[in-house]
Amino acid sequence: MSRNILIVGDEPQMRKIVKGQLTRRPWNVTEAACCREAEAILSEKNTFEVILCDLNLPDGMAWQLLDQSSERTDQPVSVKEENGLVVYRFVDSGPGLTPDVADKVF
């Protein structure tokens, strides 16, 4: 069964590497280069199990994109920071993000 993931990052080469790894597994990968593109994709296709998002984007911060998506519950969202990858998920218990996993993958 295929799952859907959205990769948001302004570095095309990094998106290509991550997409290449994920498509080897049963993931349908959609890419966006900035917050604006990601917001447009999310408004059309709201079926992503995971959003992998770079922290600093050309037109905003990942947190702005995550705030826009905060109405979702149980939606894993990972934010790549300078020192690694931090995975967050939205939870039913209230607004905001809850740390789920912290690991450096790049």
Average pLDDT along the chain: 73
Closest among 7, 11, 100 to 58, alpha carbons compared: 11
Q: pLDDT tens across 53-62, in order?
A: 888 888 988 7
Identify the pLDDT of residue 43.
84
pLDDT digits (tens, 9 = 90+) for 7-36: 888 999 989 998 998 888 888 999 999 999
Question: Lowest-pLDDT range, 14-23, 37-46, 68-77?
Answer: 68-77
Count of structural domains, the chain: 1
* CATH code where residue 84 lies: 3.40.50.2300
For the whole model, what pTM was predicted?
A: 0.71
Boundaries of domain holding 18: 3-103
DSSP secondary structure letters along 31-78 = EESSHHHHHHHHHH----SEEEEESEETTEEHHHHHHHTTT-SS-EEE
Q: Give the per-residue pLDDT at 97.
A: 45
What count of Cα atoms within 13 Å lies in the side-chain half-sphere of residue 23? 10
